[in-house]
Chains A and B, each alone.
Chain A
Amino acid sequence: MAQVVKIRADGRAGRRTADAGKRTEYLGFGLAGETYAVPIEQVAAILKPPPITEVPRGPHTVRGIISVRGKLVTIIDLRRRFHIEEELRFVLAEAPIERKARILLTEVAGEPIGLLVDEVRQVWRLAENEIEPTQVLGNDQPPYIAGIGRPAGATEVLILLDLRPIVESP
């Protein structure tokens, strides 16, 4: 119920695609072989990673800080955030940033945040019925997973993310 209301509250998209069912645009990106996606309206820009300044003794998930147009941006390494390849970390203290890696620039609770991802893939327009609730995965899901996207006619499985818990409850 709450979900429906939330999507309807997004007036513009709702009206435009009234006939085809409500569709939301998601930006899909790759991370350790999986495809994740965030609502595209939450992404302000996609950056090639500039040199990132580490913050010693900062949270493990924070890769460091960069400056974008005079603003300091906190870079969150999503691999670290999602506890991917923890074992690798012992081999390589600081995994190098690959050529295809990108930073998705966003803002969470007023703080400029950059999400470090392996690569940016494509934009998906998902209708309501193409989104499965997280409960299909079982009850004990991390709070940052908002749902599972299954675009019709594609084999892709998208892990839809909620950004706020990514930043606020590390």
Chain B
Amino acid sequence: MIEGGGGRGDGPDKARDEFFSEAQELVEALGRDLVGLDEALRKGQVDAELVNEVFRGVHTLKGLSGLFGATRVAGLSHQLEDALDDLRLGRIDLTTSVLDLLFQAVSLYTRLLVAEKGEAPEPIAEVDALLVAFSALSSRRAGPRAPTVAEYDLPPGLFGVLTEYEEHRLRTTIQQGLGLHRIRVRFSLSTIDSALDELKASAKPHGEIITYLPTGTGVDAETIELEILLASNESVDKLRAVLTGPNLSIEEVARRTHASDRPSLPAPPPSIESRPPASPPNAPAARGVSAPDEAGARTAMAAVSPPAPARGVSLAAEMSLRSITQTVRVDIRKLDTLMTIVGELAIVKTAIARLSDRARNRAVGSREIAIELQRLNRSFERQLAQMQGGILEVRMVPLGQAFDKLARIVRQLSREHGKDVRLVATGAETEIDKLIVEELSDPLMHMIRNAIDHGIEPREERLRVGKPTVGTIALNAFQKGNQVVIEVEDDGAGMDPAAIVDAAIRRGVVSAEEAQELAVRDVFALVFMPGFTTKQVATDLSGRGVGLDVVKTNIAKLGGVVDIASDLGIGTKMTITLPITLAIINVLLVNIGGRPFAIPLASVDEAMALDEAHVRAIESREVLTVRGASLPICRLERLFGMQPRGAAKGRAFVVIAQVADRRLGLVVDDLVGQRDIVIKPLGKSLSGTRGFAGATELGDQRVALVLDVAALIEEVLATGETRFLVHGDAQESSRRRAPQRRA
């Protein structure tokens, strides 16, 4: 409709994309505000400004979704708006159970938006349950009870299309105690103006027409069907008597049964077990304009099976914290910078074109051309590097995006688990590639689940051991060189190495003999093995043996590592170390067995000539002494089983790689130099091949494999044998053992 003049091409799709990204931002902001409200509430305060903020957000979302025909989102928003209005006017009190409902609404929004994109079925039953819970809420408000819009079974899409005034009138008339009636009437297009006026006039003495909308159904080209919403205190029979016409029907809008008939709204069930059975799959849904009998059926249905209040969204349903859209918001100044660079590149291009013209006309000598080309090349390189940097910057988003969602999860989980937990996040401003943030949300969620389920003790237990009753999960992020470190630390019970070893043996993750040899740190690493769990009984949260191994796999996919440290009785800390970006990486090109390989510089500490005189074989492993400390080394040519190509040279180099706090010296033939590369994944047929993160084109038709340093370190160091630490007692023990080996 609005199309036509623009000629911008990608019209509705683009607009819809924008709708999704904007809606998502609104929903995320809601989540943040709710967490804020929750924090204030715990201190016994109600942050009125935040309530207003939430109200405004929901209102905007309602308008937005109405505009894009996302009727369920609009309907839910409408109901929410009512409740929030009551909240800010103090008609109902903000309590934890009210907040629960609001948090549920936020989760449902996300799912509704996913459904709207067509990527998942609509959570109809949950929305209905929540709507009923909200209407029950409204009816609980203090003071003389007046009915609200929420109690009427109006189509959810309706609120997207009402003007503010109409909505206001709807509210007012309902509060005055008038009943709502729905009139369906068909007009001929030629006479609609006069006929409608007539109808209005005859209706006026009996009530107020709130709005009239075309239904868009069952009409031919000559007629139009309208649905008129009439507020009146007269009975439907009376209205039927005064408003007559050939194509006119009147029905009363049903009132939802609500909790005022019951003593009060039950608080959300404290534990999973008492979850009421799921709503019937075909629970009558408020869709579009409901048919008269459907409205009746709904009332009856609601009467026989009281809908599950406050429990619409289960945790299992919230499978993923990933964003609905891949959109990145960009500061216009960043784009301006990029635009300027593009302008300069265009200048270079013009200069090249001019030069090639002159060369063709032999207006310049070859030496001049060479000099000019060199100059242009330098300029081109500089601009390109700037461009690259600029684009990388655009991809960077603050980690806070993921943290906000986690705060919601913590609240939800801790309530469901009956534990009091608070999340303290620092470093939310740390920037990281948007793709990484997306991939990070789910692993972080698993880690936090794990901390709440296994880490934080129940309240009584905490009291007994003299800890504060409120458990703390600290989420710290910071940049460290080219890596970003994220720590998830809880002040819970910590892990018992003996229990872990027992569980690992019981589950066949390690044999009893292997377990004997394990160092403390290796013991903790067992929890990342597939199928590992110490909980005897699986809970809804974790303990099903999935989770931590998934965390490890997902982090590894991003080129990162996850480490774990724990003190029994004090707490557990998991540390994720990640590269800042995935797209373009800076690598060190090396030769191994005469072939080129790339090592991501993010994980390279330093490189030096290998002095064979300082290499010792300890057990089956070679160790190099670097500045008085032991460094395990790995001869990549040997590890890769490569036949050397070309004459063996006397000199080799060692590239010291470090991921998190593990170091390994990679022995290579040659150092070639640094380069920025775009890394591409290997095909599926090579997915089982260890040690490579992908490959890159070097120009000159050659392809170089990119080493997966984290995986190599893992492979070489964490094979269950003695680990060599860079310092400390490991060094001692290696000195002690060295002679035995050679003896």
Which A residues have a C-beta under 8 Å from some C-beta of B? 50-51, 53-59, 62, 65-67, 70-74, 76, 93-94, 109-113, 167, 170
Contact = CB atoms under 8 A, between A and B. Distances in A.
A93 B686 contact: no
Interface stretch (B439-447, B463-471, B699-707): B699-707
Contacts of B640: 56-57
A67 B685 contact: no
B683 A112 contact: yes
A76 B686 CA distance: 11
Contact of B685 (A57, A62, A93): A62
A50 B701 contact: yes
A119 to B, nearest CB: 22
B641 interface: yes
Contact of A72 (B641, B688, B691, B703): B703
7 contacts: A55-B689, A55-B692, A56-B642, A57-B689, A57-B691, A72-B683, A73-B683
Given A65-B703, A111-B684, A56 B695 contact: no
A74 B695 CA distance: 11
Nearest to A66: B703
Given A72-B695, A73-B683, 13 more contacts: A56-B641, A56-B705, A62-B685, A65-B682, A65-B695, A65-B705, A67-B680, A67-B703, A70-B697, A110-B684, A111-B684, A111-B685, A170-B685
Contacts of B680: 67, 71-72
A59 B689 contact: yes
Given A56-B640, A57-B640, A51 B702 contact: yes
A74 B682 contact: yes
A91 to B, nearest CB: 13
B595 interface: yes
Interface string B670-712: 0000000000111111101111101101000111110000000
Contacts of A74: 682-683, 685-686
A53 B695 contact: yes
Interface in B571-602: 595
B636 to A, nearest CB: 8
Contacts of A111: 683-685
B361 interface: no
Contacts of A59: 685-686, 688-689
Contact of B705 (A53, A66, A113): A53
Nearest to B702: A51
A50 B702 CA distance: 8
Given A59-B686, A109-B684, A111-B684, A54 B595 contact: yes
Contacts of B703: 53, 65-67, 72
B190 interface: no
Nearest to B688: A59
Nearest to A50: B701
Given A66-B703, A72-B680, A58 B686 contact: yes
B516 interface: no
Interface in B629-656: 640-643
A113 B684 CA distance: 10
Contacts of B685: 59, 62, 74, 76, 111, 113, 167, 170
B634 to A, nearest CB: 13
Given A72-B683, A111-B683, A57 B641 contact: yes
B695 A58 contact: no
A125 to B, nearest CB: 31
A67 B703 CA distance: 7
Nearest to B689: A58
Given A65-B682, A74-B683, A109-B684, A53 B641 contact: no
A160 B112 CA distance: 51
A163 to B, nearest CB: 12
Given A57-B690, A94-B643, A72 B701 contact: no
A145 B715 CA distance: 38
Given A70-B697, A93-B643, A53 B704 contact: yes
Given A65-B682, A72-B680, A74-B683, A53 B689 contact: no
Given A65-B695, A66-B703, A72-B703, A55 B690 contact: no
A94 to B, nearest CB: 7
Identify which of A58, A62, A111 gathers the most chain B CB atoms within 10 Å of its CB. A58
Contacts of B681: 72
Contacts of B704: 53
Nearest to A70: B697
A22 B742 CA distance: 75
Contacts of B688: 59
A55 B686 contact: yes
B682 A56 contact: no
Q: Sorted from nearest, which 8 A-B pairs have the closest CB atoms?
A: A56-B640, A74-B683, A53-B703, A111-B683, A67-B697, A58-B689, A50-B701, A111-B684
A9 B475 CA distance: 58
A53 to B, nearest CB: 4
B58 to A, nearest CB: 42
A3 B691 CA distance: 43
Given A62-B685, A65-B682, A72-B680, A56 B691 contact: yes
Contacts of A109: 684
A55 B690 CA distance: 10
A83 B640 CA distance: 23
Nearest to A57: B689
A74 B692 CA distance: 14
Contacts of A73: 683
A71 B694 CA distance: 12
Nearest to A109: B684
A48 to B, nearest CB: 11
A159 B692 CA distance: 36
A89 to B, nearest CB: 12
Nearest to B680: A72
Contacts of A167: 685
Contacts of B692: 55
Identify which of A59, A72, A94 gathers the most chain B CB atoms within 10 Å of its CB. A72
A73 B694 CA distance: 12
A35 to B, nearest CB: 25
B686 A62 contact: yes
Contact of A113 (B641, B683, B694, B701): B683
A106 B701 CA distance: 19
Contacts of A62: 685-686
A70 B704 CA distance: 13
Contacts of A54: 595, 642
A148 to B, nearest CB: 27
Contacts of A113: 683, 685
Identify which of B595, B684, B691 gathers the most chain A CB atoms within 10 Å of its CB. B684
Given A56-B640, A62-B685, A76-B685, A51 B701 contact: yes
Contacts of B697: 67, 70
Contacts of A55: 682, 686, 689, 692, 705
B42 to A, nearest CB: 51
A111 B681 CA distance: 11
Contacts of A58: 686, 689
A118 B14 CA distance: 50
Contacts of B595: 53-54
Given A53-B704, A53-B705, A65-B695, A72 B682 contact: yes
Contacts of A57: 640-641, 689-691
Contacts of B691: 56-57
